[in-house]
Chains A and B, each alone.
Chain A
Amino acid sequence: MKIVVLTKAAVPLSSAIRIDPKTGTLIREGVPLTVNIWDRDAVEFALRLKDRYGGEVIALSMAPPSGIPALESLIGMGVDRAILASDRAFAGADTWATAHVLAKTIEKYIPDYDLVVAGEETIDSTTAHIGAQTASWLGVPYIYYVYDAEVKGRTLVVRRFLEDEGVDEVYEVDMPAVISVLKGSQIPREVRLSRKLNAREYIQVVSNKELGLDPECVGLRGSPTLVAGMAPATYPPRKKVVIQGEPSEVVKKLVEILKSEGVV
């Protein structure tokens, strides 16, 4: 099985997000990009399929060169090789333009893929668009929120969970296909330092010189959506009454408040 895993080198959850007050853009300096946490579920899922059925797992990412360490850590997890689609022309892409580059990279460099595995969403964009858009670009079926799968000939039998309806569903999907992996559903394996040491050798960087995409259809210019404004989020005013003192006094006041609000 040839499996492509889409992974984003994202701003990690733990880092304090800082905004340039002048431009309203994210300050990336000094913020090391790491693999989007939910993509580690996707990588683990792909590696488990490979453990069972054999084949190859290829990580694919569109990112600036600062995304390389993230891919190195995936090689350390056991991914066979990685492709980084990286070009100044790709900067500022919306999800349409990002999926465009990812799909064209797959078609050119991994045309014989059986399965594309994405994470459920990214921690810094949280759109969950890219999986479906990549499927649309590739013209293949797709399914989200998968936590288990089995190969039966040319179909993949997947189990998935819909959190908001509380249901488990089993689907058969014809391959090639795109799936996204339910976040938190896998226990990602450790990064092995021995593999990570020469990881760079397994990472291929491709630019738009190789991909040859119309520069009008990638990056900021190739994005049908446009960020027209950015403003700090503001919240409605609150009363801000401070209550402190002996716990028994505090509780008395709390009960009064609950009573006057008709809660008790």
Chain B
Amino acid sequence: MPCRLWPPINKEDYRGVWVYLEREGDRLKDVGLELLGKARDLAQKLGGVEVAGVLVAGGEDLAREAIYHGADKVVIIDNPDLKIYTPAEYAEAIARVVQKYRPEIFLIGATKRGRELAAYIANTLATGITADCTALEIDPKTRDLLQIRPTFGGTQLATIRTPQRRPQMASVRPGVFPKPPRDPSRTGEIIVEKVEITKRRTRLVSIEKRLEKDIADLPPVESSDIVVAGGRGLGTAEGFKLLVELAKLLNGTVGASLMAVRAGWVPHTRQIGQTGKTIRPKLYIAVGISGAIQHLMGITEAKMIIAINPDPHAPIMENADYAVVGDYKQIIPMLIEELKRLKNQS
């Protein structure tokens, strides 16, 4: 007898793959569109079921954008009280809609707000949830979603199922799945649902952009084709200045290992790895980074990896396309000089 708080349900009553479409002001965050792409893939493996999105207090233009990226249907939660995001109220409203339409899978982007919402929604639906999945598959026999996530510090990949409950819920970090191409010829259904919430108990008072002084106004790591990253091996914050200079010459940006972040050399928004960002640049240059498995997890999809490290046996060297054995203090300044010279020539 399973727990009576989440008794087994009739799985046949649940069909379709649903995605939460997070808004940032008047636009959709990319992660929702990325998940629509993955949802299409899962829906096909489930025999061509419907792909749908849930949007809270968004316009029809945003719903259409989701349809162009793969949704067959978008449900807009229409409640003037929900114009402004607050976690408890949003989670309750989303759970209500999901409960009504009964998808077999519900995916959420693991942005900061998404991570805040996801587990509360799952609890309201008395179902399980797996955080930060890096792969999602279908077991065709049971229609179970195989929720694959790194665990034990990234050394292992766990496959997790929610065998007795629906929907099966998973969160996925931004950038893990590619964004599907926009196809404005796609059509779909837009449904407006008036959803009531029991009681408002959280209120937004103010919101302001923080003008954080990040290193040298470089673009974020997740949106750069070239990332020059530094680790503890740089020894000092000064070392990072060299990396910034190199990154600028290459039109790229600067990233870091956890240890460099903990040393205070770089803000943690630039951390790459399991507890930082997952990135997929064309070129990743790892300087003074040993290549711990938790770090490697963030760069498995880099097209090319160059490592610079005096230790030929550091794990990063085994995981690089080009393993440069040497001291960055000698190599990087010379490389910078050479690149500058080339630039001046052209």
Residues of A within 8 A of B (CB): 17, 19, 24, 26, 94-96, 99-100, 121, 123-133, 135-137, 140-145, 157, 161-174, 177, 184, 214, 216-217, 221-233, 235-236, 238-244, 247-248, 250-252, 254-255, 257-258, 261, 263-264
CB distance from A132 to the nearest CB of B (A): 4
Query: A126 touches which one: B162, B205, B275, B339 (CB < 8 A)?
Result: B275
Q: When chains A and B are docked, how far (Å) is the Cα of A177 from the Cα of B342?
A: 60
Contacts of B4 in A (CB 8 A): 214, 216-217
CB distance from A90 to the nearest CB of B (A): 13
The A contact surface, by secondary structure, is: mixed
Contacts of B274 in A (CB 8 A): 126
Q: In the complex, what residue of chain B is closest to A123 when comparing beta carbons? A: B275
| Contact between A135 and B155, CB atoms less than 8 A apart | no
| Contact between A224 and B202, CB atoms less than 8 A apart | no
CB distance from A85 to the nearest CB of B (A): 17
Total chain B interface residues with beta-carbon distance under 8 A: 94
Q: In the complex, what residue of chain B is closest to A135 when comparing beta carbons? A: B120
Contacts of A135 in B (CB 8 A): 88, 120
Given A133-B119, A141-B88, A171-B204, is A224 in contact with B326 using a C-beta cutoff of 8 Å? no
Q: A141-B87, A235-B319 are in contact. List 9 more A-B contacts (CB 8 A).
A: A121-B275, A124-B152, A224-B126, A225-B162, A241-B323, A250-B331, A254-B306, A255-B339, A261-B283
Q: When chains A and B are docked, how far (Å) is the Cα of A12 from the Cα of B280?
A: 29
* B208: interface (CB < 8 Å): yes
| Contact between B122 and A242, CB atoms less than 8 A apart | no
Contacts of B334 in A (CB 8 A): 247-248, 251
Q: Considering the complex of A and B, which 7 residue pairs feature the smallest CB-CB distances, nearest first?
A: A224-B128, A225-B128, A136-B123, A129-B119, A127-B131, A217-B3, A141-B201
Within 8 A of A (CB), among B195-229: 201-210, 212, 226
Contacts of A142 in B (CB 8 A): 87-88, 120, 202
CB distance from A114 to the nearest CB of B (A): 14
Query: A229 touches which one: B87, B113, B158, B296 (CB < 8 A)?
Result: B158
Interface centre among A135, A136, A142, A231 (most CB of B within 10 A): A136
